[in-house]
A and B are shown apart, each in its own frame.
Chain A
């Protein structure tokens, strides 16, 4: 059973938005992409993925529409919006700050 990784709050949104900058994708694809690129370090459970996707939709950071996939199945494709890109930039900045802060604490003698 894939265990969902412990995320810092807000980072999941950032990861999804980042994934979407590579092109439109569906829920499964997003989860796969994050798992593969993190080399199985980050496994997103559907229980966090779908609420997160809804959150993106409400805030209009992403839009979704139904398309036919290569196999002919109807899938819901998510695409990042302009405000989503802006949000991603902000999140990356604050995340970098957070990481730097953590690093400083951990590195302190």
Chain B
């Protein structure tokens, strides 16, 4: 109750102050009346009373003090003292705060990405019941592939395990209406799409079943295009020349996919559901209440098993992936590694500051002795010391949170294809709390050892000094071990990056510039005119048009059939990727055909449909026969194979490609987009813009970049990971070096008299040098051994992040320890040499 009384006065002191002041006023009035009764005039009485009463504010103050906690007062005094000390030693404070800031900044930034991508995907709530269904075709090397209408129909029928099933496919449109046509990206989605996420519209409504030509705007798009005008609902926009009615606006928190601006209603005509095998659909399912993910997977597997009961070797699977894991995708492992690395950096920083503070304990011995002799208790001193390190930690933490917010804005600018989720990363309250907690934790970690040491130190001297050095040695060894582990990891990642860079994409990516455009409608000869215009442009070595361009997500996955060839019963349909290219494509990309011919201008819309296949398709489907002249159907019906091209990497240097079919872009003009590919010696952006404008002014161009950039961006995550881990390793290495240097310098400093005496007695400077070198390197050596052991045992966990590199890579496992040893020798060398140069005479004088 008593504590409660005090706490209440802390939280809200208004009633308390009000009571007191009214009470005092009453008191004064009573004195006043007393004076009047004694015969004073009212004015005089009032004056005398207030003079007699004294200073009300002071009384209030001293009354208030009765209520407050004594420890609060001590705490502020301790904090004030700690801050004063930190200001008094700026070098230590700044070093320590920067170290902590780096560690906490890195941690907070990485956890903020983890939160958006992994924990709380895209800021959506309650996603743990949502799964994404994907297709796996083992024989075609396809994993996590999009689904087709067949899977949609099948999963929709499994109402015993799924409460909601929604399909959506990625789309982009040209939106007319403004001064210039705008490219808009989003998805076409079935009626249940928003219901899977349990979303409520911000305004209007979401899709109804079997709706056509309706559109839901994202909150952001509505704000930017309609300025937040609610009457937008009910109006229409023109997408690809078709009128779409705006039926609703999504909530501001709903962003899936992260870059989606609008969602249109997806309607499957019955014939599409019958025939469809286009693998373009993203399938979201919400598990029914009480249904476990394992049970749902079991149910889906039963369907798959029934599908392939006739042919057990078909290699067809349908996988259910938790939504969070699907969003994280290949970001998951790199992020977890980065988080671990950032924690190692923070802990190394703590160890470093601890050694720094330990080396200061000698200097504070006197201060502690005086304070204890003046009556300070051990608890008081321990509290004071801990508050000092907690303050230091907090200063670093504030710096770290600032660094993290800077890092988050860098993350927003990372243009990694397919990683639009990164643009939603934000530093929210939880993350700031995480940063503060880390800061306090670090303060405790690096403050406790020196504080305890200091208290012991005040009791004994020589013994404690020895123990202090041993403690410092432990910290240094830990720092060296951490640095080595990160360095070996860096080595493995850099080797993988190099190995990826060695992969030949199958075409000559140098001097190629690419740009996407949206074909103007009602201009059938546009592609042909643009092609001729580009080829005729001065400075252009060769030019082509294609859809899509390699390294912009891969070709269009679709099923195909081969004439006079039956699939075995139960075998899943054959799938390949399609590219639609102009006659100049193979020449421009410098892909030499292995057999047959490429497309010519004669392969126009009216001519018989032809195609070129790649060796992967040829080897898989025509192993013992000449594919030329065979017929294959994927788009528009039977196409005769006229050539065989070598395999080209289409999506990533790391993944093996799938079978590919090339069509002449003129013969299959199905797609609203196309891309320009130019081989030039000089920059081509201006050339492209001019040529497109000349051919048709109303053509939006987007995603213009060199082919080399595309390839580099496809390795974005790998480069980022290798880059960040090497920075972390470098920080740890520097910290370890500084730590070891500090410890040896201090030992040398304390033993100058001893060295002088030994030198006077005839010890050679060389001996002294070697003695200190070995002493210093011993601690480092232990650290290296520990680091090697950790790396050796933990290397398996890296396997998924490496490419064409053994986890026990000889180069990484030799080079990294060598580099660490070198740094250690350098950091011990200078104090050791100083020891060897001690002048015996100066020491004798000093003594």
Residues of B within 8 A of A76 (CB): 19, 22-23, 26
Task: Judge whether A51 and B66 touch: CB under 8 Å.
Answer: yes
Residues of A within 8 A of B5 (CB): 57-58, 60
The distance from the CB of B376 to the nearest CB of chain A, in whole angstroms, is 24
The distance from the CB of B28 to the nearest CB of chain A, in whole angstroms, is 9
Measured in the bound complex, the distance between the Cα atoms of B54 and A75 in whole Å is 20
Task: Judge whether A58 and B67 touch: CB under 8 Å.
Answer: yes
Most buried by B among A46, A64, A74: A46
Residues of B within 8 A of A57 (CB): 5
- B53 an interface residue at 8 Å Cβ cutoff? yes
Within 8 A of B (CB), among A37-72: 45-47, 50-51, 53-55, 57-60, 64
Task: Judge whether B67 and A28 touch: CB under 8 Å.
Answer: no
Residues of B within 8 A of A26 (CB): 23, 26-27
- A9 an interface residue at 8 Å Cβ cutoff? no
Task: Judge whether B29 and A73 touch: CB under 8 Å.
Answer: yes
Most buried by A among B20, B29, B30, B52: B30
Task: Judge whether A54 and B1 touch: CB under 8 Å.
Answer: no
> A26-B26, A58-B6 in contact; A47/B1 too (CB < 8 A)?
no
Residues of A within 8 A of B1 (CB): 60
Task: Judge whether A47 and B31 touch: CB under 8 Å.
Answer: no
- A103 an interface residue at 8 Å Cβ cutoff? no
Residues of B within 8 A of A54 (CB): 20, 63-64, 66-67
Measured in the bound complex, the distance between the Cα atoms of B51 and A45 in whole Å is 12
The distance from the CB of A56 to the nearest CB of chain B, in whole angstroms, is 9
Measured in the bound complex, the distance between the Cα atoms of B27 and A73 in whole Å is 11
> A58-B6, A76-B19 in contact; A28/B66 too (CB < 8 A)?
no
Q: How many residues of B contact A (CB 8 A)?
A: 28
Measured in the bound complex, the distance between the Cα atoms of B31 and A2 in whole Å is 12
Measured in the bound complex, the distance between the Cα atoms of B47 and A1 in whole Å is 12
Residues of B within 8 A of A74 (CB): 22, 26
> A1-B51, A45-B54 in contact; A27/B27 too (CB < 8 A)?
yes
Residues of A within 8 A of B600 (CB): none
Name the one of A46, A51, A55, A58 contacting B27, with C-beta atoms under 8 angstroms.
A46
Residues of B within 8 A of A47 (CB): 54-55, 58-59, 62
Task: Judge whether A28 and B52 touch: CB under 8 Å.
Answer: no
The distance from the CB of A96 to the nearest CB of chain B, in whole angstroms, is 26
Most buried by A among B2, B23, B26, B55: B23
> A1-B51, A47-B62, A51-B63 in contact; A28/B2 too (CB < 8 A)?
no
Measured in the bound complex, the distance between the Cα atoms of B67 and A31 in whole Å is 22
The distance from the CB of A25 to the nearest CB of chain B, in whole angstroms, is 12
Measured in the bound complex, the distance between the Cα atoms of B24 and A46 in whole Å is 8
Q: Closest chain A residue to B30 by CB distance?
A: A28
Measured in the bound complex, the distance between the Cα atoms of B269 and A77 in whole Å is 86
CB-defined interface of B1-43 with A at 8 Å, one 1/0 digit per residue?
A: 1100110000000000001101110110111000000000000
Residues of B within 8 A of A73 (CB): 26, 29
The distance from the CB of A24 to the nearest CB of chain B, in whole angstroms, is 14
The distance from the CB of B66 to the nearest CB of chain A, in whole angstroms, is 4
Residues of B within 8 A of A27 (CB): 23-24, 26-27
Task: Judge whether B26 and A51 touch: CB under 8 Å.
Answer: no
Task: Judge whether B59 and A51 touch: CB under 8 Å.
Answer: yes
- B65 an interface residue at 8 Å Cβ cutoff? yes
Residues of A within 8 A of B53 (CB): 46
The distance from the CB of A32 to the nearest CB of chain B, in whole angstroms, is 8
Measured in the bound complex, the distance between the Cα atoms of B51 and A2 in whole Å is 10
Task: Judge whether A55 and B58 touch: CB under 8 Å.
Answer: no
Most buried by B among A27, A31, A50: A50
Measured in the bound complex, the distance between the Cα atoms of B58 and A50 in whole Å is 11
Measured in the bound complex, the distance between the Cα atoms of B29 and A75 in whole Å is 11
The distance from the CB of B69 to the nearest CB of chain A, in whole angstroms, is 11
Residues of A within 8 A of B29 (CB): 73
Name the one of A1, A58, A75 contacting B2, with C-beta atoms under 8 angstroms.
A58
The distance from the CB of B827 to the nearest CB of chain A, in whole angstroms, is 59
Task: Judge whether A50 and B63 touch: CB under 8 Å.
Answer: yes
Measured in the bound complex, the distance between the Cα atoms of B696 and A67 in whole Å is 91
Q: Closest chain B residue to A57 by CB distance?
A: B5
Measured in the bound complex, the distance between the Cα atoms of B60 and A54 in whole Å is 10
Task: Judge whether B26 and A50 touch: CB under 8 Å.
Answer: no
Q: Closest chain A residue to B62 by CB distance?
A: A51
Task: Judge whether A60 and B2 touch: CB under 8 Å.
Answer: yes
CB-defined interface of B196-231 with A at 8 Å, one 1/0 digit per residue?
A: 000000000000000000000000000000000000
Measured in the bound complex, the distance between the Cα atoms of B26 and A75 in whole Å is 7
> A1-B52, A26-B26, A28-B30 in contact; A46/B59 too (CB < 8 A)?
yes
Measured in the bound complex, the distance between the Cα atoms of B6 and A54 in whole Å is 11
Measured in the bound complex, the distance between the Cα atoms of B31 and A31 in whole Å is 11
Task: Judge whether A28 and B31 touch: CB under 8 Å.
Answer: yes
Task: Judge whether A28 and B27 touch: CB under 8 Å.
Answer: yes
Q: Closest chain A residue to B3 by CB distance?
A: A58
Q: Closest chain A residue to B65 by CB distance?
A: A51
Name the one of B26, B52, B55, B64 contacting A2, with C-beta atoms under 8 angstroms.
B52
Residues of B within 8 A of A46 (CB): 24, 27, 53-54, 59
Measured in the bound complex, the distance between the Cα atoms of B60 and A75 in whole Å is 17
Measured in the bound complex, the distance between the Cα atoms of B13 and A54 in whole Å is 13
Task: Judge whether A50 and B59 touch: CB under 8 Å.
Answer: yes
Residues of B within 8 A of A51 (CB): 59, 62-63, 65-66
Measured in the bound complex, the distance between the Cα atoms of B612 and A21 in whole Å is 110
> A1-B52, A28-B26, A73-B29 in contact; A50/B2 too (CB < 8 A)?
no
Measured in the bound complex, the distance between the Cα atoms of B64 and A57 in whole Å is 12
Residues of A within 8 A of B54 (CB): 45-47
5 residue pairs, one from A and one from B, having the closest CB atoms: A54-B66, A28-B30, A50-B63, A28-B27, A76-B23
A-to-B contact residues, CB < 8 Å: 1-2, 26-28, 31, 45-47, 50-51, 53-55, 57-60, 64, 73-76
**Beyond the given A46-B59, A50-B59, A60-B1, could you list 5 further A-B residue pairs with CB under 8 A, ordered by the A residue number?**
A28-B30, A28-B31, A51-B62, A51-B63, A55-B66
Pairs A–B under 8 Å by Cβ, sample size 5: A26-B26, A26-B27, A47-B59, A54-B20, A58-B66
